[in-house]
Structure 1
Amino acid sequence: MKYQHIFTGFLTFVVLLISSCGKKDAELPEAAPAISGIEAEYYVVVRDSIQLTPVIASRVDSIVWVVNGVRVANALQYTFQAPVNPAVHSVIIMAYNSGNVFQKVVQITTGRYRNWEIKAHAVLTLQASSKFAGKNDVKWEVLSAPSHLYRLWPGKDTAQFIAMERGAYQLLVSSAELTDTLLVTVRQPVQAPSPYISKVFDYLPAPGQFVNELPRYDVGDTYETMVGKVNKQLAGENPVMITLGGWGGYVVVGFDHTIVNVAGKRDFRIQGNAFGAAANPRPNAPFGGSCEPGIVMVAYDRNKNGKPDEDEWYEIKGSGSFSAESEPWYSAAVSNKSDVRTFRNYEMTYNRPATEMPDSAPVNSFTRISNYISWADNQGQQGYKIKNAFHAQSYYPLWVKDNAITYKGIRLANNAIDESKQGSYYVLYAFRYGYVDNYPNGHDNSGIDIDWAIDKNGNKVNLPGIDFVKVYNGTDQENGWLGEASTEIGRGEDLHLLKADIATVHP
């Protein structure tokens, strides 16, 4: 009987405990509703309307809309009708459920200007209103902007606009007494763009002393494998240097956004490993040392397919793209009997080496094989590239199955001078501007201005920005014990995203 009372008491306690827990569970507060899918700011032309449809997380009992302090609706969505006069309006969205309320405040600006909205780094094509039809003197200009990091390319009835900073840009379209004012609202993309290379699309170095080493070729590697290796080495903030080999060797890279072509500024940089000579014996010599200029091609992703198409490429016109006569070292190179010719439509074919066996009687201390890789160009010239004593691997890209590779492009004047006159001290002088691996990375002249772009006929082109960059070695020269001049490539940079403000030069 005693134990029965104890058991009955214990059972009563358990029942009360369970009942208490159930009551507590039932009294847990419901999750508050959350509002998304609505921007913090909108612009609406007077007499126009905008429908606001929020996305509500969690259960909701009621949604109340308050405009300028007045309750105007109780509904899942609301259509705001802009009045006839410009003003700034406050819209409060309040979502209720049991014991909870969540609100979001939206500012709607109304004005008489037609409004356009784009994301930063996106190109917007603006269309003039019908009242400008048939006018030949239509002008486009920016009246006000929150930043100078934008570009407006005016046409006749249309204009292209791109900006990288958020905010409102006021534009004027005019023709004689006719005027229209446009407002372009730029918003930041959901994911912030990276200032660095995001992808490598193509890679084919020409034969050279660092090929198959930078990056390393492993037996069995294919073209796809090597492009993947280069992508791993170049993408991002902390890349590993790669080589382009001899003349014509190239790499094609892309960014995850359109780099804005800002007027009067240099827009991007592809780093190399150029440096100045420490003990150049020439008095008052211009800058030089190890300057191995890579020619730059750029492409704007006009059709937005995410890859560089052949008809989108334009040349960056560097200071020596047509002639080296204006370079400060030109007369010295002529006196040195250097080949200072510039070829605009140059082609060179390299042949796979017949042997990797060293010469039995080397011609000098730095030559391993004298007649190593045979070559011929479209100027009637031919010869052999040597294999030096410092790099024993094959200089021919081993993942290429073809026994000959032909490269096409511009061949720049030779910029190397043996200042020792004895083959011991070569100085490779810098071109004034427009190339990669031509100046040290911290120098302003390593920056590239998209406004230097020209078409295949040498005509200036107007690009709002660029998405892709191709770099290829622009010189064909052997420098004694130093070996061939080979462009090396490192980090790619959007100078505007990195807050680098570098003034341009005008060719």
Structure 2
Amino acid sequence: MNMRQYLSRILATLAILLLAGCTECGPEEPLPEPPVITLDSPTSVYTVKAGREIEICPRYENAGEATFTWRLDNEVLGTGPTLKFASERSGRYYITLTVTNRGGTDEEELRIDVLDLTPPTISLPGSDKGFTVLLGSELSLNPQVASALETAFRWTLDGKPVGDERNYVFSATERGDYVLRLDTRNEDGSDSIEFPVHVRSAAEIGFAWTFEQSSYNVSVGRTIRIRVLDVENAFDAVYTWSVDGKAVQESDSPEYAYAAEREGTHAVKLEMKNGFLTASQLFTVNVCPAEGTYYRPRSGSSQVFCNKVYEFLPAPGQFVNERCTATTMEEACAYAESCLAQKSYVSLGGFGGCLVVGFDHSIDNDGDYNIAITGNAFDGSSEPGIVWVMQDENGDGLPNDTWYELRGSEYGKEETLRDYAVTYYRPSAPKMNVAWSDNRGQSGTIEYLGAFHQQDYYYPAWVAADSYTLRGPCLKSRSYDQSGNGTYWVNPAFDWGYADNFSPVDRLTDDGNYNAAPADNHFKISNAVTFDGRAADLKYIDFVKIQVAVNQQCGWLGEVSTEVFGVKDFNMTK
């Protein structure tokens, strides 16, 4: 073998070895596409009841050789493509899902809302005592039921099934005593109530009435109204009014206009007679000295802001009991005083909720704006409150004299209800809507908004009774759902004369207040009117009351509720 052949053979061998080596290594394998997670909830939010299990099953792309990790804070909950989750404790749980392969990582955060169990607890005001019905009339029963969705209802009358809807109308053609029962059931539990219904003739029906007060204070020369409220079963009643033992009015009218002509204490008696019975009520009228006797002039140390809260009685609402832990009216007033002193707000709840404040001096009526009340209205968010004023007519420093309404733009309109009253009923269990009924035959609820305000009860904790009634003028609501699907509610303004109202007139500014900051509405004492709509002609006032003027629920936004941040003597800031 010559040298050339030897070299050729060596080169051929090397080529074969190189070819063999390349064949063993092969071409480099490409990286896979990174994984992609698609949750099976478009909102990334899941809901499950406490103690029950939910399985989350996302869809994946490029996850054939991927690893899966589900984490709650620093705890690993699972390492598979699906997750089964359960918790005995209600709340919101934020979970991170991480999927990784050689090509990369994808990550999604999801939320699981664990809700309290909601058995169909029944609340039916009045059922604890039963109902009495006039023979030939109907009794509409409209119970409030927690978690009424997917709940089965069963009404029985004397043990026999009579209905399977939530509401039931009872009627009977014969006088007697009946037993009604309602049973409810859903996946979370059951509840039942049973109560008597007494069907009676007109002669047997009990007469009832109530009164605003039994004692009145009024300055000499003025006229007040004494009246009966919430009359039941009066039928053909005749009302006789006497003053100091002398009959002064006999008619079918349950009210009397008392003219305060002589100073001193006077006795007023009302007697009601119908074909079945007689009832009577005594009143005391303290006719006080003339206006101005107890006027308190402003001094150098007088404060611009109110310095005392005398009453804080909101209607039920989403902010009630949330920050305030009061269990007595005294504690509630102290809480409200503290809020106003810090320029923080107090919420007055639904219709009729009120706040009564006083000043360390009398506020003069100069014919212009004299009072400023701070709310947080902005364009599209007005929650109007009617304003009332009072003089300290008897000089005892307490708001126990005569209230005068400050006329606003809706005063006297046909759609504005006078003497409107709403009765609110304590819920029978935590986290329930608050039922109400009005003196126009309507009923409804202040809705429990657990996603935003989770205190157990929206019914004021400092109201000891199981029901209470709030009364006053009611404006026709202007609220509407602009979105059409419940997501965007608008509360338009009224023209003028109301607290927490985006008025183009009495705000005295063009600022849009888009940040919902505290902002004033302004009021004239000269707009005060008497009970019959006449000008009150007050020279000054000592007390102010703000009262929610609309009965309106706005879906997820909740009840229309006047907010008050402060009340000022505007004369001192002009």
Q: TM-score when scaled to structure 1?
A: 0.50
Question: 447, 468, 479: which is aligned to 1:386?
Answer: 447
Q: Matches of 1:245 and 1:443 in 2, distance apart?
A: 26
Residue type at the aligned position of 1:196: F
**What pairs up with 1:223-302 in 2 under 5 angstroms?**
223-235=329-341, 238-263=342-367, 265-276=368-379, 289-302=380-393
> Any conservation in 2 of the 1:453–1:460 contact (CA below 8 Å)?
yes
The one-character-per-residue Cα deviations of 1:201-232 (angstroms, maximum 9, x if unpaired) are 1111100001112x4215xx322111111122
> Any conservation in 2 of the 1:205–1:243 contact (CA below 8 Å)?
yes
**What pairs up with 1:126-205 in 2 under 5 angstroms?**
189=299, 191-205=300-314
Partner of 1:131: none
Q: Matches of 2:434 and 2:489 in 1, distance apart?
A: 23
1:344 and 2:418 equivalent? yes
Q: Matches of 2:497 and 2:421 in 1, distance apart?
A: 21
Given the superposition, is the C-alpha separation of residues 291 and 403 from structure 1 closer, same or farther in structure 2, using an over 3 Å criterion?
A: same
> Any conservation in 1 of the 2:294–2:392 contact (CA below 8 Å)?
no
Deviation at 1:159, TM superposition (A): 9.9
Larger strand percent: 2
User: Which of these two proteins has the greater Rg computed from alpha carbons?
Assistant: 2
Residue type at the aligned position of 2:454: A
The one-character-per-residue Cα deviations of 1:52-111 (angstroms, maximum 9, x if unpaired) are xxxxxxxxxxxxxxxxxxxxxxxxxxxxxxxxxxxxxxxxxxxxxxxxxxxxxxxxxxxx
Question: 200, 207, 210: which is aligned to 2:319?
Answer: 210
SS of match in other structure, 2:399: coil
Unaligned runs of 5+ in 2: 1-289, 510-519
Percent of pairs with identical residues: 39
Given the superposition, is the C-alpha separation of residues 160 and 205 from structure 1 closer, same or farther in structure 2, using an over 3 Å criterion?
A: closer
> Any conservation in 1 of the 2:479–2:489 contact (CA below 8 Å)?
yes
Partner of 1:493: 568
SS of match in other structure, 2:410: coil
Given the superposition, is the C-alpha separation of residues 420 and 301 from structure 1 closer, same or farther in structure 2, using an over 3 Å criterion?
A: same
> Any conservation in 2 of the 1:299–1:468 contact (CA below 8 Å)?
yes
Q: Matches of 2:491 and 2:553 in 1, distance apart?
A: 11
Q: Matches of 1:381 and 1:432 in 2, distance apart?
A: 27
1:319 and 2:425 equivalent? no
Given the superposition, is the C-alpha separation of residues 261 and 161 from structure 1 closer, same or farther in structure 2, using an over 3 Å criterion?
A: farther
SS of match in other structure, 2:572: coil
Residue type at the aligned position of 2:310: F
Deviation at 1:163, TM superposition (A): 11
Deviation at 1:442, TM superposition (A): 5.4
1:414 and 2:477 equivalent? yes
Deviation at 1:323, TM superposition (A): 2.1
Deviation at 1:399, TM superposition (A): 1.8
SS of match in other structure, 1:224: helix
SS of match in other structure, 2:349: coil
> Any conservation in 1 of the 2:295–2:362 contact (CA below 8 Å)?
no
Deviation at 1:162, TM superposition (A): 12
Higher relative contact order (CA 8 A, sep 6+): 1
Given the superposition, is the C-alpha separation of residues 306 and 383 from structure 1 closer, same or farther in structure 2, using an over 3 Å criterion?
A: same
1:474 and 2:549 equivalent? yes
Deviation at 1:481, TM superposition (A): 1.2
SS of match in other structure, 1:309: coil
SS of match in other structure, 1:374: strand
Unaligned runs of 5+ in 1: 1-157, 165-186, 277-288, 325-340, 358-368, 500-507
> Any conservation in 2 of the 1:162–1:464 contact (CA below 8 Å)?
no
Residue type at the aligned position of 1:401: A
Q: Matches of 2:388 and 2:324 in 1, distance apart?
A: 26
Residue type at the aligned position of 2:411: S
The one-character-per-residue Cα deviations of 1:380-427 (angstroms, maximum 9, x if unpaired) are 111233211311111000121111011111111102122222222211
SS of match in other structure, 1:398: coil
1:395 and 2:458 equivalent? yes
Partner of 2:73: none
Given the superposition, is the C-alpha separation of residues 229 and 251 from structure 1 closer, same or farther in structure 2, using an over 3 Å criterion?
A: same
Residue type at the aligned position of 2:325: Y
> Any conservation in 2 of the 1:271–1:490 contact (CA below 8 Å)?
yes
SS of match in other structure, 2:412: coil
RMSD between superposed Cα atoms in Å: 2.7
> Any conservation in 2 of the 1:316–1:454 contact (CA below 8 Å)?
yes
> Any conservation in 2 of the 1:314–1:454 contact (CA below 8 Å)?
yes
